[in-house]
Chain A
Amino acid sequence: MPTVTVSGHQYSLDSEHVEAALRGKLPEPIHEHFVVINGRRWPPKQVLALVTGLDRADFTTHQARRVLTRLGFSAGRAASSGRRPAVTHIAATTPPPSVASEAIGRPASLAEALRPFIGLWVAVRGDDVLVAAPSPKEVVAWLAQHRQRAQSMFRVVDSERAITGAAPQ
């Protein structure tokens, strides 16, 4: 098992250890950097704090990111805040809309972003999944806790039947 040093403390960690530490937890909002664990994006500092029990002030985002990538997790940087307005601009000014939708990668891009969360309730904003949880109550609690506002909340199902079952009355 690899040994890592964080803030002067040594820890023996592997990917399974990290995944276990995240069970039952929800990712906090992604501001810039993230690591991908079990198909979800997590703030690196949140993960390392949960795994080590250290205070987040004891290490930097870059240290956390480096430790987690060494354990085999992929890392990335969230799109800039200018991304969504750019998309809106394309959709609003480039007819026909179907071409615009294809050009900007929707709606397939949201569907792909939702794939890891089949069966869960999600809150989304644009093509980003803010949070996913087993119940709407947990989703709403997360939004309130982190002062986030979603565009839409729903449950992700992977069957046409689950949607068409809501037939007219």
Chain B
Amino acid sequence: MRFEFRALPAAGGGVQTPRPVVDIALEGLEAAPIACLLDTGALRTRMSAEIASLAGIELSGDLTEEFYVGGLETTGTLARVNLTVTDGTDEFSWDAPVWFCEPWPHPFGLAGLEGFLHHFLVTIHAYDGYLEVEPEPRLKEEQQSR
């Protein structure tokens, strides 16, 4: 699967530096995959808690953690959810732990090691402005055998 880096408009004209972004759909919210910034330095995959409620994911609060992101203190609640990544041509689904955070002031979710990178071979062609995402072979075989 191939994802072009995404650029957003910059204040005063022009565009911001394009970023590596993958679109990840939550089970129950397939019509609106969430743009997630690929973050190789992040341990977790994080999204806004508001998104969880839209997908009908109940956050039990059994496992939470408080942390700072961008200088803001926030609380993440863990939920194991089914995720799907698609570039519009191919798609791949897997179960993963996602930390849903409140507050979450960021425009994107974060795709980190746990939840995303552990499941994929990711090749970043930063100079050319795109990334390639392939499922980890064992998981791909599991999905094909279902």
- A residues near B (Cβ < 8 Å) are 88, 91, 96-98, 101, 106-108, 110-112, 114-115, 118, 123, 135-137, 139-140, 143-144, 148-160, 162-169
Taking residues whose C-beta sits less than 8 angstroms from the other chain, chain B's interface range is: 35 or more
Question: From residue A103, how far is it (CB to closest CB) to chain B in Å?
Answer: 13
B140 at the interface (CB under 8 A from A): no
Closest to B130 in A: A97
Residue in A98, A107, A151 whose Cβ sees the most chain B Cβ within 10 Å: A107
CA distance A40 to B90 in the complex (A): 31
B82 close to chain A: CB less than 8 A: no
**Which residues of the other chain, B, contact A118 by a CB distance below 8 angstroms?**
9, 11
What number of residue pairs across chains A and B have CB atoms under 8 A from each other?
137
A154 pairs with B70, CB closer than 8 A: no
- For the complex, give the distance between the alpha carbons of A157 and B19 in Å: 13
A sample of 19 inter-chain contacts (CB < 8 A) reads A88-B89, A91-B2, A96-B128, A97-B130, A101-B129, A112-B9, A114-B9, A123-B32, A135-B50, A144-B31, A149-B30, A152-B34, A154-B108, A157-B8, A158-B16, A163-B107, A166-B70, A167-B69, A169-B67
Q: B residues within 8 A CB of A108? A: 7, 15
- Shortest CB-to-CB span from B90 to chain A, Å, is 12
Name the distance in Å between A160's Cβ and chain B's nearest Cβ: 5
Q: Is B125 an interface residue (CB 8 A)?
A: yes
How far, in Å, is A113 (CB) from chain B's closest CB?
9
* Residue B27 CB within 8 A of the other chain: no
Chain A positions within 8 Å of B88 at CB level: 88, 151
Q: Is the interface of B mostly helix, strand, loop or mixed?
A: loop
B1 at the interface (CB under 8 A from A): no
Question: Interface centre among A110, A139, A151, A166, by most B CB within 10 Å?
Answer: A166
Does B6 contact A97, Cβ atoms closer than 8 Å?
no
Beyond A140-B29, A155-B107, list 13 extra A-B contacts (CB 8 Å). A110-B6, A111-B9, A143-B32, A152-B6, A153-B35, A154-B34, A154-B35, A157-B8, A160-B17, A163-B107, A168-B39, A169-B43, A169-B44
B139 within 8 Å of A by Cβ? no
Contacts of A144 in B (CB 8 A): 31
Q: Which chain B positions have C-beta within 8 A of A88?
A: 88-89
- Measured CA separation A5–B113 after assembly (Å): 62
Also in contact, A97 and B128, with CB within 8 A (given A115-B9, A153-B32, A168-B41): yes
- Chain B residues with Cβ below 8 Å from A91 are 2, 4
Tell me the smallest distance from the CB of B52 to a CB of chain A, in Å. 11
Query: Which B54-70 residues have a C-beta within 8 angstroms of A?
Result: 54, 67-70
Bound CA–CA A120/B117 (angstroms)? 29
